[in-house]
Structure 1
Amino acid sequence: MHKANILALLTSLLAGALAAQLLDSEWQAWKTKFDKKYMTAEEEVLRRERWESTLKIVMEHNKLADQGKKSYWMGINHFADRTLSELRAMSCLRVPTIREKSASKFQSASSKVLPAYVDWRDEKCVTDVKNQGDYCGSCWAFAAVGALESRYCIKTGELMEMSEQELVDCDSEDHGCCGGFPYSAYKFIFEKGIMASSHYTYKGRAAGCRFKHKKAVPLNITKFYQMSGEENMAAAVASDGPVTVGFAVSFSFFFYSEGIYDDECADYPNHAIILVGYGSEDHEDYWLIKNSWGPHWGNEGYAKVKRNANVCAISDMGAAIDLQ
């Protein structure tokens, strides 16, 4: 073999070895960061294959984002070793009943001039990002409670964490870790009340109901309602506080990192999130959303989603609760 060819082959092999070593290092660092442990060597091999596949997708997407061909970036987070079927199984929003669909809906006054920018975090009325856990489809409870926490703070000046676990355990119209509907969660809270999370802590699994009325947070609820349409939602967020919405999550959203999301969606809303504000960036309107997948997801648990385009059916299943 010609010396030049031998040198080229050796260079290629060395580069491959260094790339493999770097990939090994990245894998170990990722496992450490997210405290990933596997029961068997075979499971780790399968999880690493999934992780490498996700890494490739993320890197290819981010090249397009760097070129201005995508409006958001992706990241390798704690979901990176999950299979597509496992991610799909995280769906946690149930289909509303006919009665729920026909319930009264909020309608904004179309003549009202809305502020250009709203972020309820600026008012110190948004609780820390929470994590529903890997094996409990309780996003509906986290969305309902998170929006209620903010509206309670807006009315009283007290930022208090309330109990998602109570809804998982006690709300019989919903299905605990198998999904629910924020509007019916508000119906339950209106009729029964809700305890502080310090008195009813989150377990990430369904258990027997332990609600105690005497320990319920004193709420003065005037109404709870559904809404649709992004104009209505913006009016509600600006005037009264955060609202819950349904969102049709598909693969790419699980790995959102920053920017304004406007990509692929599922066929129907399968996840519940909270609108905590809105604004515009580089002449693009966006929603500021709070998720329940922990602070390692997105931008410390938050994301921007394109507004006034009904991205992933975000305008179809809104719900809120009003306090006096």
Structure 2
Amino acid sequence: MIFVSVVLIAGVSAMSIDLLQDEWNTFKLKHGKKYDPLEEHHRKQVFLYNKHIVEEHNQRYLRGETTYYMRINEFSDYFDTEINNSLYGFNITDYLLHVDKGATFIRPTDYIPEEINWEHRGAVTPVKNQRGCACCWAFSATGALEGQVFLSKNVLVSLSEQNLVDCDSRGDGCSSSGNMLSAFAYVSQNQGIDREDAYPYYARKQQCAFKNVTVGARSAGFTAIMFGNELILKEAVATRGPISIAFHAMHSFRTYKGGIYYEDRCNANNLNHAMLVVGYGRERNQDYWLVKNSWGTGWGLKGYAKVARNRGNNCGIATIASYPNIKL
């Protein structure tokens, strides 16, 4: 009997190992991953660790202990240094050097709707993908510019992140040292930013190739929104359209898949990632911000996230916010 039990246990263990190997192989195939044998060993360990974290978290979600769920994605075999170097590129220090040079947001006196979605209203371009370049700030900036162009001219034009990566001298290309205010200032001083179809994205810094004849938008500076106030951010989103924000995107954010994201380990002042708030609403008795990310449509809710609203400025979503002033 003991012998039979040992054989059964061994059989189950072998089956588990085979299933894990199949999942790993499927993951590599789906995301086009290829590694040499030594690197593959390390990558697989990272993948299995993240798989465990995701499954454990999702069990908590099913028990109602958390408000969002996660999924394995293309980043699930990344080392932490790779995540930091390829996804997060917001520089708060340089942002703060610029903030006093902008206009101050004037709070509206009119009625503010309880929900709004600028993507549904046509002010938001399709979700983009920064890929291995840590220039989230450029995508946040173009998103805000695109929204302001739409609201001013009733036309949606996709603008060039590559133009900012290559030409904004205060940014550092694909390194973690850019911010949206610097981008808005560049567009203002440069007398414009090119359309994306004329200056496509390559996910690496190249020589500046801006062309005056293909300008898609012109900026006249920016407006800053009061630090850390979610009510005022709501007013700005309702009346001024999509708003550039910064976010503390460490911990579980890279594996977010759905639900309303709330992370109590976040630091509202340690901001490392830039995104675009395109709306807000309420779901299952929970307030949320609708946020457009720049990690492709395979991440989150087809590239979007619903982030907890009115829960203590979670992850610093209202700590730093701004939008460009469009020059007509």
TM-score, length basis structure 1 = 0.93
Deviation per residue, 1:99-119 (Å, 9 max, x gap):
413234533436443111111
Which residue identity lines up with residue 265 of structure 1 in the other structure? C
Tell me the distance in 1 between the aligned counterparts of 2:220 and 2:210.
22
Question: Which of 35, 41, 45 is residue 37 of structure 2 equivalent to?
Answer: 41
Q: Identify if the C-alpha distance between structure 1 residues 97 and 114 changes in structure 2 by more than 3 Å, giving closer, same or farther.
A: closer
Q: Within 5 Å, which residues of 2 pair with 1:154-193? A: 154-178=151-175, 179-192=177-190, 193=192
List gaps (5 residues or longer) in structure 1: none
Q: Identify if the C-alpha distance between structure 1 residues 97 and 120 changes in structure 2 by more than 3 Å, giving closer, same or farther.
A: closer
Give, in angstroms, the shift of residue 315 of structure 1.
1.0
Contact 1:84/1:251 (CA < 8 Å) preserved in 2?
Answer: no
Give, in angstroms, the shift of residue 282 of structure 1.
1.6
2:317 is aligned to 314
List gaps (5 residues or longer) in structure 2: none
Secondary structure at 2:194's aligned position in 1? coil
Q: Identify if the C-alpha distance between structure 1 residues 57 and 224 changes in structure 2 by more than 3 Å, giving closer, same or farther.
A: same
Question: Which of 261, 271, 274 is residue 276 of structure 2 equivalent to?
Answer: 274
Matched, 1:195 2:194: yes
Report runs of 4+ in structure 1 exceeding 4 Å deviation: none
Which residue identity lines up with residue 107 of structure 1 in the other structure? F
Deviation per residue, 1:23-59 (Å, 9 max, x gap):
1111111111111111x11111110010000000111
Q: Within 5 Å, which residues of 2 pair with 1:21-100? A: 21-38=18-35, 40-90=36-86, 91-94=88-91, 95-96=93-94, 99-100=97-98
Deviation per residue, 1:179-212 (Å, 9 max, x gap):
3110111111122101111111111111111111
Q: Identify if the C-alpha distance between structure 1 residues 294 and 21 changes in structure 2 by more than 3 Å, giving closer, same or farther.
A: same
Tell me the distance in 1 between the aligned counterparts of 2:146 and 2:217.
12
Q: Identify if the C-alpha distance between structure 1 residues 162 and 275 changes in structure 2 by more than 3 Å, giving closer, same or farther.
A: same
Tell me the distance in 2 between the aligned counterparts of 1:294 and 1:320.
23
1:231 is aligned to 231
Tell me the distance in 2 between the aligned counterparts of 1:20 and 1:233.
49
Tell me the distance in 2 between the aligned counterparts of 1:146 and 1:53.
34
Give, in angstroms, the shift of residue 273 of structure 1.
0.4
Deviation per residue, 1:65-106 (Å, 9 max, x gap):
110001111110010001123223343011226541323453
Tell me the distance in 1 between the aligned counterparts of 2:94 and 2:318.
15
Give, in angstroms, the shift of residue 8 of structure 1.
2.4
Give, in angstroms, the shift of residue 227 of structure 1.
1.3
Q: Identify if the C-alpha distance between structure 1 residues 312 and 151 changes in structure 2 by more than 3 Å, giving closer, same or farther.
A: same
1:204 is aligned to 203
Secondary structure at 2:234's aligned position in 1? helix
Contact 1:93/1:139 (CA < 8 Å) preserved in 2?
Answer: yes
Secondary structure at 1:167's aligned position in 2? helix
Which residue identity lines up with residue 188 of structure 2 in the other structure? F
Which residue identity lines up with residue 47 of structure 1 in the other structure? R
Q: Within 5 Å, which residues of 2 pair with 1:300-311? A: 300-308=302-310, 309-311=312-314
* Amino-acid identity (%): 35
Which residue identity lines up with residue 136 of structure 2 in the other structure? C
Which residue identity lines up with residue 184 of structure 1 in the other structure? S
Contact 1:104/1:226 (CA < 8 Å) preserved in 2?
Answer: yes
Secondary structure at 2:111's aligned position in 1? coil
Matched, 1:265 2:266: yes
Tell me the distance in 2 between the aligned counterparts of 1:215 and 1:259.
40
Contact 2:168/2:183 (CA < 8 Å) preserved in 1?
Answer: yes
Tell me the distance in 1 between the aligned counterparts of 2:316 and 2:5.
53
Over the aligned positions, Cα root-mean-square deviation in angstroms equals 1.8
Contact 1:161/1:197 (CA < 8 Å) preserved in 2?
Answer: yes
Matched, 1:241 2:241: yes
Tell me the distance in 1 between the aligned counterparts of 2:290 and 2:123.
14
Contact 1:74/1:257 (CA < 8 Å) preserved in 2?
Answer: yes
Secondary structure at 1:295's aligned position in 2? coil
Which residue identity lines up with residue 56 of structure 1 in the other structure? H
Secondary structure at 1:122's aligned position in 2? coil
1:291 is aligned to 293
Give, in angstroms, the shift of residue 150 of structure 1.
2.3
Give, in angstroms, the shift of residue 319 of structure 1.
1.3
Tell me the distance in 1 between the aligned counterparts of 2:112 and 2:64.
30
Tell me the distance in 1 between the aligned counterparts of 2:151 and 2:4.
69
TM-score, length basis structure 2 = 0.92
